[in-house]
Structure 1
Amino acid sequence: MCYDWGESSAAAVRVLAGQSGFLSCPLFSHPNVYNYSSTQSTGHNLFWYRVLEGHGLEQPFTNSARFSKDRERLWLQPAYANDTGQYICMLRNKTSCSKIAMRLTVLHPEDATLPNSCAPFAVAASLEMVPLQLGKTLDCPDAQEAAKMADAIPNVTWVHQIRSSKSCEVFPAPSIERQVKGMSLQVHIMTEFYQGLYFCTVHYRRRGRALNFTRVINVTAINPPILPKEPDILQPTKDYIFNVKQGEEARLVCSGKFPYLDSPWEIWWTIDGKTVEQLRDPRFSKSNRQLKNYFEDRIEESVLVIQDFQPEDLKREFNCSVRNQLGIKTQRTQLNLETSLPSLELGCGLGATLFLMLLLFIIYHVFWLELLLLYRSWFGTDERHTDDKEFDVYISYARNSEEEQFVLSTLRSVLENELGYSVCIFDRDSLPGGTITDETLSFVARSRRLLVVVSPGYASRGSQALLELKAGIDSMALGGHLRVILVQYRPVKRKVWVRELRRARVALALVQWQGDKSKELTSRFWKRLRVELPLRRNSAGTEGGGKDAALMRMSSQNSTSSQTGLISQTSKSPQTVYNYAA
């Protein structure tokens, strides 16, 4: 009778077709149970059998050119696709027998090539950890075993596939930091760039036949061993407080740092000295996850979830602990019970506040002129009580132009008759026989506002309009008792503006006339203009014309009635051009 251990899934082997491979008898995977040397001394012999795909009979092996036994291994040199099947190793003597099976799979190269891989491989990659800025020698797996059977020393070729890249580098590469020495690859100085897969192909000859096999090493950089390796708790800190609410879910988060060690590590919560598993309370549960991996230094997170938190839970002791081979650290958490706010009332109040703010924003955006005029009528100051100016507005415009008709028939009429302002127009209000320059400067100085009607021909060099403009800008810049307002009757390109206008534009208010849309007194043009003009109140306390304004207009008309004939004659004669030295 022979004891049958069945088939070992852990001992399954994969080999590339056309390459060498071997099977190791799983009976010797536990040396305390079976040791090859001791079994040989007790008279046990190792026999190999196989059951090929599609066959039900066990076939024994004998040494041949392709199959050879080496202690507990059976070599296939090379392996072919029809070698796929179940292989059985049997250890027996005259009184005892044990056997175990394993599976061999021979792969075609196209079935063993991963996406973006430099070469096909069947055997899983081995892992090598190399400290940064330090060195290590990479030995191709199973190369020494092949050397024992080879006719001469094998030759090993190395290929490096950079991590997260398709590029592959074949050695010997022009680098002093990595060099091939014999069958090994020596890394003198490890950097992050040198991480990735290293393919090593062993080429050797046995009995005159050229053979080869490929192995893969996954090289990963780790932090140098000179850095501290004890675990640490990143959160919660000593002074950190978790805010919890009664009757709701509480989540206590603990994160720990574990420097790389080739040993187990652990992060866990305890409640009154018991783990969640030991407590066996359905209200408590935990979940772990990895937050970060930086050169194999791990940051792990453990979340303790408490369902339906109660005030008596504040009396419990919640501790987070981390541990590895070099030490253990524990941090106690602090809890603070928050008072629940009425969420519905709070939400409704916040929503109403946001709606009111939005409504006020829309109202201000649409009716800001009306609101500004209303504010002025309530809280504004009448400038007549604070200065000794004679005129509210001095109108400057280009003579003998379309704008002159607009000024005399529309602008002057509304300002005097509808809004109650005292208006000064040089051609109407100046006395005959005076000096043009002196009277212009006098009128501008005695006015609270200088209203400039901008046109393409306005303020041409040497004109009276330029004198008025310069006088107004100088008075505004020096004393601040006069403000200049620009009224754009027709669109004018800024490049045709005179230098004085271009320089002062940033500090001047510009009101645009928009034809028929601006004729009504309630239009945006007149509202915008009233904002820039001095405040006038009527008897009802609102802004507008009144009795005082009417008396002022009558006085102004009486003072200039004697000049009517002269003005009529002047309006019919060509415009006189006066030179003004700035």
Structure 2
Amino acid sequence: MGKRIACIWSLVNFLAPLLVATVMGNLHTSTVPAEARCQDLGELRVLEGEASWVRCPFWGLANRSSSHALTWYRLLPGHLERPIKRSARVSTERDCLRFQPAVAEDSGRYACRLRNRSACVNVTVVSRPQEASEDPKCHWPLAAEPGQVVVPLEGDRVVECPDWREAAAVADDAPAVIWYHACEQPNRWTSDREQDGARLRVHYMVDHYQGLYVCQVRYRRSGRALHFTRGLNVTAVSASSLPKVPSVLQPTREHVFSVKRGRDVRLLCTGHFPYLDQDLEWDIWWSVDGNRPEELAEHRFSVSNRRLHSRYGDRTEESVLLIRNFGSEDLGKTYNCSVSNRKGFQTRRAQLEEEASLPWSELASGLAVTLVLSLLVSALYRVFRLELLLLYRSRFGTDERYTDNKEFDVYMSYARKSEEEQFVLRTLRRVLENDLGYTVCIFDRDSLPGGTITDETLSFVARSRRLVVVLGPGYARQGSQALLELKAGMDGLAGGHLRLVLVQYKRMRRQEWVRELRRARVALATVRWRGEPSRELTSRFWKKLRLELPVRRPPGALGDEEGGQGAGLMTTPNQTPLNPEAS
């Protein structure tokens, strides 16, 4: 019996460690849903082939003498956990999980656990793109977003490569740090910038020093060559010596907003905010009678803000106050635009002026009356144009008898032994001499017998103020007398001491217009005789003809010596119809 008990005890001692190891193995690859209570550390991005690490936030809570209390796991699909197996490339050191270097297979989700606390991190290994070229505009391969650094213009700043101290703490010797700006090497930098160990010193900041700076950290650990790359975006901001108090750019002290009742009114305010480091306490706002629009009971007031532009950290902000259905009571309110930051405050009052309403009814009435009067005057002028011109000539025209030495007012040119001759002798001559008072020269009547026809014709034409050419079908066919008179008239017209008047008694065919007549017709107006309608002295024919003839004043306009003669030469408005048979 004693031997059996001893054998059983020996078997228990042999199997107990195996059982404990099996249970512990099952616990290490468990299905405990750790992610349900996992604190998220975000994402760690690293380039393939570069060194990287992540720290657990619970290290300060652990007993540092028993670091085994903090454990790193790799989370697998289905909430499975697998302890990190230590190797030369992947290791866990206290609170740190290191990849030396990282490879594509390292991408995944990791968790650190301390008692009942867990923290998770996503590790993403980015494949290294094509190596950066030597082009000044090249783009460095960076897995993580670059950090941000601001440097005042004309100022100085010391820039430190991120995470180089972490590498220095575990490296076999001092890490080597190389800085680049737009792919430029340090030996190409100026005296305004220089590298001092792991730091970059900017002694004098200018605009073109802005941009992406890249630092490469190379070191050895446990004989293995490691490296990583970090980036910093350096931005120039306004100089620290400039004033930092905000200001209201608009409205100015002289600006006046024009408002109109019953319309929506927009009051515009712009403010300038100089750059301040981590300035989160800035504001631009409108106030109505000391209250912000959102504090008013009326919903007719609303405000909208937006950024107009930013340069060197200085910002220009815009605030618009909208007043819907502007009323007369709104004119008496006080509207102030204010800006503030931690350095100061400024406010400015908006000046309002009501826009004068145009008297649309009065304007419309005035325009209508003006238009009607214009149309009426235009119509009257078209109807009574000749009468108005005759009236003007009688009042303000110059009597040519006092300005020249001519003997005759009119010289008659017509075709002899034709119908036109009867018209001239019985109608045209009688009205001009007896009714209108003109002195008329007719060659066949006024020439002396035995004279030379050519010389006397030219003499009569030269001593006349007007040459009236009576046109008809026989004008150019009845010998050379009419053509001689026409040529003399054309020469006088060219010399400026004689005017031609064309009176068309009957219509003429195109072939009947000789060259001199065509020239005269182009240059002169033609007075047409229309038969029976033209016989009245008040017809348009006689009015148009009088406009072409010399001016004759009404009775009494001349002196006493000539008053009777002038009265006898003028005709009364109620003139009886002309009798062509009277001679």
TM-score band w.r.t. shorter chain:
0.5 to 0.7
- Equivalent residue letter for 2:107: T
Q: Which residue pairs with 2:109 in the alignment? A: 86
The answer to whether the aligner puts 1:199 opposite 2:230 as a matched pair is no
Q: Which residue pairs with 1:318 in the alignment? A: 335
CA distance in 1, matches of 2:301, 2:352: 16
CA distance in 1, matches of 2:73, 2:524: 109
Match runs of 1:320-339 below 5 Å: 320-339=337-356
- Equivalent residue letter for 1:101: C
- Equivalent residue letter for 1:189: Y
CA distance in 2, matches of 1:230, 1:417: 94
Give SS of 2:225's match: strand
- Equivalent residue letter for 1:242: F
CA contact (8 A) 2:213 2:232 kept: yes
Deviations 1:186-242 (A, max 9, x none): 222211111111122222222232222222211111111011111111122344332
Q: Which residue pairs with 2:120 in the alignment? A: 101
**One of 78, 83, 91 as aligned partner of 1:60:** 83
Measured after TM superposition, the shift of residue 296 of structure 1 is 0.9
Deviations 1:246-279 (A, max 9, x none): 2221212111111001211221223343333333
**One of 321, 327, 330 as aligned partner of 1:304:** 321
CA contact (8 A) 2:35 2:79 kept: no
CA contact (8 A) 1:5 1:99 kept: no
Give SS of 1:11's match: strand
CA contact (8 A) 1:222 1:260 kept: yes
The answer to whether the aligner puts 1:125 opposite 2:149 as a matched pair is no
Match runs of 1:458-537 below 5 Å: none
CA contact (8 A) 1:112 1:121 kept: no
The answer to whether the aligner puts 1:49 opposite 2:52 as a matched pair is no
Give me the TM-score of the superposition, normalised by structure 2: 0.55
Higher Cα radius of gyration:
2
Aligned-residue sequence identity (percent) comes to 37
CA distance in 2, matches of 1:193, 1:292: 20
Measured after TM superposition, the shift of residue 289 of structure 1 is 1.0
Structure 1 gap ranges (5+): 29-35, 162-167, 357-373, 392-414, 430-443, 450-515, 528-537, 549-582
Change (3 A) 1:318 1:72: farther
Q: Which residue pairs with 1:240 in the alignment? A: 255
RMSD: 5.1
Give SS of 2:188's match: coil
**One of 30, 37, 51 as aligned partner of 1:20:** 51
- Equivalent residue letter for 2:128: P
The answer to whether the aligner puts 1:149 opposite 2:170 as a matched pair is yes
**One of 149, 162, 180 as aligned partner of 1:159:** 180
Deviations 1:280-309 (A, max 9, x none): 643222211111212111111111212222
The answer to whether the aligner puts 1:186 opposite 2:205 as a matched pair is no
CA distance in 1, matches of 2:94, 2:223: 22
CA contact (8 A) 1:389 1:448 kept: no
- Equivalent residue letter for 1:320: C
Change (3 A) 1:547 1:205: same
**One of 151, 169, 173 as aligned partner of 2:188:** 173
Measured after TM superposition, the shift of residue 389 of structure 1 is 9.4
CA distance in 2, matches of 1:137, 1:188: 8
Q: Which residue pairs with 2:269 in the alignment? A: 254
CA contact (8 A) 2:41 2:119 kept: no
Give me the TM-score of the superposition, normalised by structure 1: 0.55
- Aligned positions, number: 396
CA distance in 1, matches of 2:255, 2:72: 65
Measured after TM superposition, the shift of residue 329 of structure 1 is 2.2
- Equivalent residue letter for 1:275: R
Give SS of 2:122's match: strand
CA distance in 1, matches of 2:288, 2:85: 64
Measured after TM superposition, the shift of residue 119 of structure 1 is 1.6
Measured after TM superposition, the shift of residue 177 of structure 1 is 2.1
CA distance in 2, matches of 1:127, 1:448: 97
